[in-house]
Amino acid sequence: MRLQKATRFALYAALELASRREGYVSASEVAAKYGISQNHLAKVLRTLGRSGLIEASRGVGGGYRFVGNAKRTTLLEIVQLFEKVDPIAAGERQPGDATDAGLTLKSVLEEIEDTARATLSSVSLDTMIKMTRRHAERRAAKGTDQRQPATLVP
Amino acid sequence: MAPTAAAKPVKIRRASNADLPTIIALDERVTRLPKTDYWRDLFDRFSRREQGRAIFIADVGGRVVGFAIGEVRAWEFGSPPCGWIFGFDVDPRFRERGIGSMLFDALTSFFRSSGVNTVRTMLRRDDNLIMSFFRSQGLTAGPFIELEKNLDE
């Protein structure tokens, strides 16, 4: 499954902010950590702000902070802010859809999509943060070179 | 949450036959499906051979508010020995208190002491609540996939 750039950036931003609840985090810090352009990130942060998941504070010491419930916010909720994760049945009709082969193909594709949706809707930001920490710990234990700082580990 | 029980400590212990009626009642309350015969048969099988099998109970002030059931299974579907969790529930009034995590920890410790280092479960794809719980405990998709067929179609 491929996610659009904006979706991936939003997930990174939400994870970063949700893992650092102690204060505001600057957009430039998030942009630098994940190699994202500040312009692109600003658009993504506006959308996250409108959704009520994050809030911004201007001025010295300002930035963004996560104000949602990390245990209740799922990856699917964030993905759906930026792109559709609709079942095939809700999509536009394509030639051949009404044929037996088309309907059979639809059921196979729905099986794949159901699994993707179930996965995204069962992983909360809190779980992602834990998984990321475990991943970083395993990498550190193996002594693996890291091109970027270990994400989400203060 | 039951207000009077909120402050009482949670005790995780192995189940005894005396817990059977409360487990049956709790399961029926959560799933809305009575399965008395299933539970009696399960307790009977577990009491006849306990090795690699365990039922843990979450007890709050003498009241059963959750359970976790598992056993070590080997070579089904070609899988090496692995701990299976196939029964798990917490009374909705006692959720969000870490009781599920305590039950999970007890069962996985039991599996480790039984010599296995993998734990597995199966759940409905649309059961977001329980799937989120197991994900939060670190479970991810494994190497197997479940397939089925409706024999009436």
In a domain, A71, yes or no: yes
In a domain, A149, yes or no: no
pLDDT band at A127 (very low <50, low <70, confident <90, very high): very high
Kindly state whether A1 is in contact with chain B, defined as any CB-CB distance less than 8 angstroms: no
In a domain, A107, yes or no: yes
Task: Work out the average pLDDT over A104-110.
Answer: 91
**Domain locations in chain B as residue ranges:** 10-136
Contact A127 B126 (CB under 8 A): no
CATH number at residue A93: 1.10.10.10
Mean pLDDT by 10 residues, chain B (153 residues): 64 93 92 92 87 94 94 93 95 92 97 97 92 95 92 91
Q: Rounded to the nearest 5°, which phi and psi values hold at B42?
A: -65, -50
Angstroms from B13 CA to nearest CA on chain A: 27
Q: pTM score, two decimals?
A: 0.85
**What whole-number distance in Å separates Cα of residue B94 and Cα of residue A119?**
26
Q: Which residues of chain B have a CB within 8 Å of the CB of A74?
A: 132
For B49-103, the DSSP string reads --TTEEEEEEEETTEEEEEEEEEEE-SGGGPPSEEEEEEEEE-GGG-SSSHHHHH
In a domain, A148, yes or no: no
Range of the domain at A113: 5-142
Helical packing angle, A75-82 and A125-142, nearest 10°: 110
pLDDT band at A86 (very low <50, low <70, confident <90, very high): confident
Contact (Cβ atoms closer than 8 angstroms) between residue B46 and residue B55 = yes
User: In this structure, what token pair is assigned to residue B81?
Assistant: 């020995």
Kindly state whether B16 is in contact with chain A, defined as any CB-CB distance less than 8 angstroms: no
First vs last Cα of chain A: how many Å apart? 30
Looking at residue A89, its pLDDT comes to: 53
pLDDT band at A144 (very low <50, low <70, confident <90, very high): low
Residue B129's nearest CA partner among B4, B58, B30, B18 is B30
pLDDT band at A93 (very low <50, low <70, confident <90, very high): confident
Angstroms from A42 CA to nearest CA on chain B: 30
Contact B138 A134 (CB under 8 A): yes
Looking at residue A154, its pLDDT comes to: 43
Each residue's pLDDT tens digit, A5-54: 999 999 999 999 999 988 899 999 999 999 999 999 999 999 999 999 99
Task: Work out the average pLDDT over A65-72.
Answer: 95
Kindly state whether B141 is in contact with chain A, defined as any CB-CB distance less than 8 angstroms: yes
CATH of B10-136, one of 1.10.3720.10, 3.40.630.30, 3.30.1780.10, 3.40.1010.10: 3.40.630.30
Looking at residue B3, its pLDDT comes to: 45
**How many domains does chain A contain in total?**
1
